[in-house]
Amino acid sequence: MSEKKTRRIWDVPDDENFYYGHTACQGCGGALAMRLALKALGTDVAVTIPACCWTIIAGGFPGHALKVPVFHTAFETAAIVAAGIKGGLEVTGRKSTISLAWAGDGGTFDIGLQALSGAAERGEDIIYAVYDNEAYMNTGIQRSSATPPGAWTTTTPAKRPNPRPKKNLMEIMAAHKVPYAATATPAYPEDLIRKFRKAKEMAGQGLRFIHILAPCPPGWKMASDYSVHSARLAVESRVFPLYEIEDGGRKYTINYWPKGIPIEEYLKIQGRFRHLFKPGGEKWLEAFKEFVEENWNQLVEKHKLTHGTTDNIPRGYYK
């Protein structure tokens, strides 16, 4: 038999540390993100999961779908339980194990923000990843402070959609002077993997934070095969730029210069924004665009402050 030579065209490890038997919906961005994150981190990882969709996704008693230990905890405690686990591993002589907190946006932007702030400020030696599907999905799509302006949720009906801009958690983390904060989405797997690897290499330097946009087909009211597509559109339309904040909040780097496609392309495939395109929806569409533009412009300025130029930002094909 002749040996077939394969040339790797992308840097995504073959190892699967996330198995079948999980219970995520089809096209769950949060499930996809974990699969990629564990490819980057390997198996010397202890995962802490607070109440969120991942409570379910991981699988019910007596089995679970990850090749690493999973410790479930209360909704608002992901950061501190992960820190406690890290401390325990340290004092019992297992220093190499990475402690990963893996929480939803509700458990991070809202109810878990206090514990996250404490852990970030103290420099706890953990990786904290939020898979952000922009609402409380596990309890049936209620608004969180990560819900974007104008979006429908079951607590912000189309007649009175979410009135406020999405909370800028990356800036909150930067203000804590964490050594590393990055955004990622499963639509750019190599980017996501690189960021988790970087976070892993920074072990011992403090809390490393990764904000993942994780499309949720049932919550966003779209077909399940739009999951990766929608995340790509979010990046290309500058709704969710890919960037990193390093050096204790001092160094901003935009990882990819988006094509700047119309925001409508991102919004129109999602039922949660349908009312934006009906009579009376213009003001919400405006609010959404304003929010995106303001964030993007500020981000570009910060990149310039760090690098003196935007010419160094990769353009074109990005994965």
Partner 1 sequence: MSFKKVTTGNHAVSYAVWSSRVQIISAYPITPQTQIVELLSEIVAEGKLQAKFITVESEHSAMAACIGASATGARAFTATSAQGLALMHEMLHWAAGARLPIVMANVNRAMAPPWSVWTDQNDSLSQLTTGWMQIYNESNQEVYDSVIIGYKVAEQVHLPLMTVLDAFILSHTSEPVEIHTQEEVDEYLPPYDPGEYYTIKTEDPRGYGLLTMPSDYYEFRYKVQRAHERAIEVFKKEFKNFEEVFGRKHWFFEEFMMDDADYVIVTSGSLSSDVKYAVAKLRKEKGLKVGVLKMRVVRPYPFEEVRKVLGDRKKIAVIDRNIGFGYHGVFYEELKSALYPLEKRPPVFGYIIGIGGRDVTPADIEDIIDDMLKRDEMTEIIWKGVRL
Ligand X SMILES: Cc1ncc(C[n+]2csc(CCOP(=O)(O)OP(=O)(O)O)c2C)c(N)n1
Judged by beta carbon distances under 5 to 8 A according to partner kind, the member of ligand X, Mg ion, partner 1, none in contact with residue 231 is none
Binding flag, residue 80, partner 1 (CB under 8 A): yes
Q: Which is nearer to partner 1, 107 or 241 (CB)?
A: 107
Binding flag, residue 193, ligand SF4 (CB under 6 A): no
Can you tell me which of 27, 29, 30, 104 binds Mg ion, judged by CB under 5 A?
A: 104
And the tokens for 224? Answer: 């399940």
And the tokens for 162? Answer: 């979410």
Q: Which of residues 217-256 bind ligand SF4 (CB under 6 A)?
A: 217-219
Q: Which H, E and C letters describe 235-293, residue by residue?
A: HHCCCCCCEEEECCCCEEEECCCCCCCCHHHHHHCCHHHHHHHCCCCHHHHHHHHHHHH
Phi, psi of 27 (to 5 degrees): 75, 20
| CA–CA gap between residue 224 and residue 217 (Å, rounded) | 5
Can you tell me which of 118, 123, 249, 281 binds partner 1, judged by CB under 8 A?
A: 118
| CA–CA gap between residue 128 and residue 207 (Å, rounded) | 7
| CA–CA gap between residue 102 and residue 112 (Å, rounded) | 12
Contact segment (CB under 5 A) with Mg ion among 24-32, 105-113, 237-245, 305-313 equals 105-113
Q: Which of residues 19-78 bind ligand SF4 (CB under 6 A)?
A: 24-25, 28, 30, 53, 57
Instruction: State the binding string over 35-64 for partner 1 (x if CB under 8 A, else -).
Output: --------xxxx-x------xx-xxxxxxx
Q: Which of residues 113-142 bind ligand SF4 (CB under 6 A)?
A: 133, 137
Contact segment (CB under 6 A) with ligand SF4 among 113-121, 154-162, 213-221, 261-269 equals 213-221
Binding flag, residue 83, partner 1 (CB under 8 A): yes
Which run of H or E residues covers position 41?
helix 29-41
